């Protein structure tokens, strides 16, 4: 029996000609032809995923986005905390930051005090309501404390934000706001010691130079003196004269920004490199000094062409023999020498919050014989700051560990409540403990029988290195001393530079002694 045509038209057929369907009414008698769909001609249709799988994928996307934004939020919070504790002062202290002017109008500038509480800087109100900044010690703390007119310097600059911040109690601030008064600014209590500052100031006398002394175990800067100086009480009226007078450098803080040839203090670095390159036999080194060392067309003379004769390595260092150290320097690997000096803070940032100059070391493997002979004894193009040398001395006194130097002990509000306390903080390890011990032995020989015998004392034991640095063709030179003294756990690291003095170490060493005597007598 013949089946009805409709029996052939089920869901497994595909219409071949849609027009036939569209015109089915006109072509009712024409059968519609369809093709059976088989595995070979079936279209690729992706099966629809279950709804639960779609939801899982969407939820995972939302979770990833949530985690991403959470990390971004935490990163922003972390940066704000870092900024508040690390960068805020520097940004706000920037002279281009207009927030300073706003704070200056609303806050009565706080005091700067010595470690014993004596006032070093404060503001007073004049009869007409204006403010005057006064400095009770005048020029004694000129560079350390700085000034607050025609710009800022010293602690007046580095602690500016703290001095213009008020942590007075809320009721007092409300009262000030009601009466239109300024809020009392916080006071900065420094690490500076008045007695030690007086001693260092006296030790330099009327000469140009700088002294900086640090407690090696904490990094507290106890004294910072630079001469020539100025009176911060009259600097506003003296300003034009100071800045216009040719050759006037009284505004320069020589302790932090003065760059000097290191002279024989640099032999400490040369000595350490030689020890590193000869770890097993450096103590066997000997040299016969005739007062002059000649290599080719170049010669290096000892001071006054003194003939030191047969010397050990320690003798060469104690007597500060130029000939022996030029001989040592020519044997060194210049690439290793350069890296050692880099590790010891040359051509590097110093861990110090106030303004300073970078020390400069230029030797490399291409340097000439003469450049090497000059540099290894502290002449040539090498330059260093007293701050840098004091940090090296401080690390040596502290078993090789350099503590971050700082000048602010704490900040307190108008009621005397401490709102921020600064604690000692390790900066880095400059020397291994073994190297620090070895170098201290050599520095002890300088005081025992070398060029620093004037530092011998029953009150303390001193270690150091003297230096005489030529700076022009004249007879005078800079006199330097760097080192430290100790009595039990009490220690003091120091650097002294006295400019344009008659040759010899008879100038810086007595100045260092004067500071040591004051410190260990207290």
Q: pLDDT in tens for each of the 522 residues of the chain?
A: 444 444 444 444 444 444 444 454 444 454 545 455 555 555 555 555 566 666 667 677 787 888 888 888 888 887 776 656 555 555 555 655 556 656 667 899 999 999 999 999 999 999 988 889 999 999 999 999 999 999 899 999 999 999 999 998 888 878 777 777 888 999 999 999 999 999 999 999 999 999 999 999 999 999 999 999 999 999 999 999 999 999 899 999 999 999 999 999 999 999 999 999 999 999 999 999 999 999 999 999 998 899 999 999 999 999 999 999 999 999 999 999 999 999 999 999 999 999 999 999 998 888 999 999 999 999 999 999 999 999 999 999 999 999 999 999 999 999 999 999 999 999 999 999 999 999 999 999 999 999 999 999 999 999 999 999 988 756 789 999 999 999 999 999 999 999 999 866 579 999 999 999 999 998
Q: Can you read off the two tokens belonging to residue 344?
A: 């010891």
Q: Please give the pLDDT value at position 505.
A: 57
Cβ atoms of 276 and 285 closer than 8 Å: no
> Residue 75: which residues within 8 A CB-CB, separation 6 or more?
none
Q: Which helix (H) or strand (E) holds 322?
A: helix 322-330
Q: Can you read off the two tokens belonging to residue 349?
A: 């940032």
Q: Please give the pLDDT value at position 74.
A: 84
Q: Please give the pLDDT value at position 304.
A: 87
CATH no., domain 198-410+423-521: 3.40.710.10
Cβ atoms of 155 and 190 closer than 8 Å: yes
Q: Which pairs with CB-CB distance under 8 Å and at least 24 residues apart come from 242-249?
A: none
Residue 481 sits at the vertex; the CA angle it makes with 479 and 484, to the nearest 5 degrees, is: 170
Q: What is the 3-state secondary structure (H, E, C) of 385-397?
A: CHHHHHHHHHHHH
Domain boundary assignment for the chain:
57-93, 99-194, 198-410+423-521
Q: Which helix (H) or strand (E) holds 163?
A: helix 160-163
pTM assigned to the model: 0.82
Cβ atoms of 196 and 519 closer than 8 Å: yes
Measured distance CA(260)–CA(283) in Å, rounded = 31
Query: Among residues 201, 274, 212, 207, which one has the least CA distance to residue 482?
Result: 212
HSE-up (13 A, CA, CB side) for residue 40: 2
CATH no., domain 99-194: 3.90.1310.10
DSSP 85: I
Q: Please give the pLDDT value at position 2.
A: 46
Strand partners, 501: 477
Strand partners, 34: 15
Query: Among residues 39, 167, 43, 40, which one has the least CA distance to residue 110?
Result: 167
């Amino acid at each position: 029996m013949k089946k009805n045509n409709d029996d052939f038209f089920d869901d497994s057929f595909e219409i071949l000609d849609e027009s036939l369907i569209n015109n089915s009414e006109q072509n009712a008698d024409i059968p519609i032809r369809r093709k059976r769909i088989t595995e070979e001609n079936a279209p690729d249709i992706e099966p629809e995923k279950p709804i639960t799988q779609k939801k899982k994928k969407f939820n995972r996307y939302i979770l990833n986005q949530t985690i991403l934004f959470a990390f971004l939020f935490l990163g922003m919070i972390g940066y704000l905390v870092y900024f508040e504790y690390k960068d805020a002062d520097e940004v706000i202290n920037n002279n281009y930051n207009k927030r300073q002017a706003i704070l200056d109008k609303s806050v009565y500038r706080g005091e700067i005090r010595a470690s014993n509480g004596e006032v070093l800087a404060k503001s007073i109100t004049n009869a007409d309501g204006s403010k005057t900044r006064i400095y009770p010690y005048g020029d004694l703390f000129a560079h350390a404390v700085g000034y607050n007119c025609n710009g800022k310097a010293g602690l007046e600059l580095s602690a500016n934000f703290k001095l213009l911040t008020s942590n007075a109690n809320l009721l007092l601030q409300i009262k000030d706001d009601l009466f239109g008064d300024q809020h009392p600014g916080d006071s900065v209590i420094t690490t500076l010691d008045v007695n030690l500052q007086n001693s260092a100031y006296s030790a330099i006398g009327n000469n140009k130079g700088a002294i900086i002394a640090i407690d090696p175990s904490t990094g507290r800067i106890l004294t910072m003196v630079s001469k020539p100086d100025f009176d911060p009480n009259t600097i506003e009226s003296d300003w034009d004269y100071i800045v216009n007078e040719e050759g006037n450098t009284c505004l320069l803080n020589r302790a932090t920004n003065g760059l000097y040839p290191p002279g024989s203090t640099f032999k400490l670095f040369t000595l350490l490199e030689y020890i590193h390159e000869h770890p097993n036999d450096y103590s066997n080194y000997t040299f016969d000094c005739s007062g002059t060392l000649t290599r080719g067309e170049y010669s290096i003379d000892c001071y006054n062409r003194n003939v030191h004769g047969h010397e050990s390595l320690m003798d060469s260092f104690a007597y500060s023999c130029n000939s022996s150290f030029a001989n040592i320097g020519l044997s060194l690997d210049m690439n290793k020498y350069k890296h050692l000096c880099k590790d010891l803070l040359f051509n590097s940032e110093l861990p110090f919050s106030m303004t300073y100059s970078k020390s400069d070391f230029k030797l490399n493997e291409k340097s000439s014989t003469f450049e090497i002979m000059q540099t290894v004894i502290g002449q040539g193009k090498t330059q260093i700051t007293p701050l840098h040398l004091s940090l090296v001395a401080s690390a040596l006194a502290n078993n090789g560990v350099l503590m971050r130097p700082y000048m602010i002990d704490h900040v307190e509000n108008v009621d005397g409540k401490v709102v921020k306390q600064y604690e000692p903080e390790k900066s880095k390890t400059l020397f291994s403990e073994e190297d620090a011990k070895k170098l201290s032995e050599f520095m002890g020989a300088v005081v025992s029988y070398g060029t620093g015998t004037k530092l011998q004392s029953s009150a303390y034991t001193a270690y150091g290195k003297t230096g005489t640095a030529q700076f022009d063709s004249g007879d005078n030179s800079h006199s330097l001393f760097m080192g430290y003294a100790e009595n039990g756990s009490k220690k003091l690291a120091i650097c002294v530079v006295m400019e344009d003095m008659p040759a010899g170490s008879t100038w810086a060493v007595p100045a260092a002694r004067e500071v040591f005597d004051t410190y260990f007598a207290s």
